[in-house]
Chains A and B, each alone.
Chain A
């Protein structure tokens, strides 16, 4: 019954506290309580009873129109972010968005998996050639073909699903407006999904840590035996573990961020979006990374010291983090 009361309170909170509204609230609650009690006495569970009562509630505007009462202008939220573009989403649109994002996440994850698994064929075949089971010429050809083939498929998936998803990207800069029921439902789903998110990330991390184990075991068992090639093959399993882990990270991450976009929370809260829009960091990073790439390629090709030049990535990466932190502090002080 508490759920019903808070549901009603929430609905009425956007209307002025006048006697007609108070009476409407009281009378509606009384009808709903009667209905709830009867459903419970029929043997329905708490959840079922609450679900039925709320689904048969109807639309509050029917009553307020009759009473001639308009909702309070709550000022706060809506106006503060007046500069943000808004988009209204119905329940169906919201569900649709979540579903398309989930499938987008799966496609990208499969693409990345293919990239990670692309050297596996060569990893498995090479030891076989070295052990003399297959001619090197054949294993090399198959290995290279598999590698490029899988990467090509992955790139195709990235491009196709990226284009298909581009119509949703603009949503990330908007504030999405959901009606009350949709918001509640989506928040509920988000909370459930949040727990799953944690589990998936944890499983992924464990997989990454364990990825090295088959290789180690194989090395211990087969080292200095005729079957040393088996341990070489076991190296391939490392890719498989990491691929599954990355699949989990990506699908969970994309799903999580879809809910955040929809509900305007976390990285996608109106404050964050506005900060990002205004932030100097956006401009800096737009220049910074292309410059870094230029330096890396230039340095590498001129000196041909590829074994040293990679150092530019961790250095510039950490440097960028420092720049971002400094800008964050400065912007924070301005406020």
Chain B
């Protein structure tokens, strides 16, 4: 399990990644994160939802109501152009962060 403090700055990026290609909804994103990280990172519902709120407020995503085949109405999220460039920005920021932190990490 990963510490929520360590990953905090990158939750936005992780969520945006899952809607880069097509819109998605809360649980699908949460499950995708869990699967992709082999259950090493399980995002809390409140973390997920507060990220949606923040991203929407900043214009990085848009929400709309969608209905799946089983008839359940859900809030879907779609990435905006602004969101895509924000994602890119966070991505390069992470690469730099990783490069820097990596230099100070060794086996003792």
Contact = CB atoms under 8 A, between A and B. Distances in A.
Contacts of A171: none
B45 A28 contact: yes
Interface string A35-76: 100100000000000000000111110110111000000000
B14 interface: no
Interface in B1-52: 25-28, 30-31, 42, 44-50, 52
A66 B74 contact: no
Interface string A235-274: 0000000000000000000000000000000000000000
Contact of A62 (B25, B30, B50): B50
- Which bucket holds chain B's interface residue count? 20 to 34
B88 interface: no
Nearest to B51: A66
A35 B45 CA distance: 10
A327 interface: no
B30 A31 contact: yes
A63 B27 contact: no
Contacts of A28: 45-46, 49
A58 B44 contact: yes
B26 A67 contact: no
Interface string A60-99: 1011011100000000000000000000000000000000
Given A66-B53, A66-B54, A30 B46 contact: no
Nearest to B57: A66
A65 B49 contact: no
Contacts of B31: 35, 38
B85 interface: no
Contacts of B44: 56-59, 62
A32 B45 contact: yes
Contacts of A59: 44, 46
A34 B24 CA distance: 13
Interface of A: 24, 27-28, 30-32, 34-35, 38, 56-60, 62-63, 65-67
Interface of B: 25-28, 30-31, 42, 44-50, 52-54, 72, 74-75
26 contacts: A24-B53, A27-B26, A27-B49, A27-B52, A28-B45, A28-B49, A30-B26, A30-B75, A31-B26, A31-B45, A32-B45, A34-B27, A35-B27, A35-B31, A38-B31, A56-B44, A57-B46, A58-B44, A58-B45, A58-B47, A59-B44, A59-B46, A63-B46, A65-B50, A66-B50, A67-B53
Given A28-B46, A35-B30, A66-B54, 16 more contacts: A24-B53, A27-B26, A27-B52, A30-B27, A30-B72, A30-B75, A31-B27, A34-B27, A34-B28, A35-B31, A56-B45, A57-B44, A57-B45, A58-B44, A58-B46, A63-B50
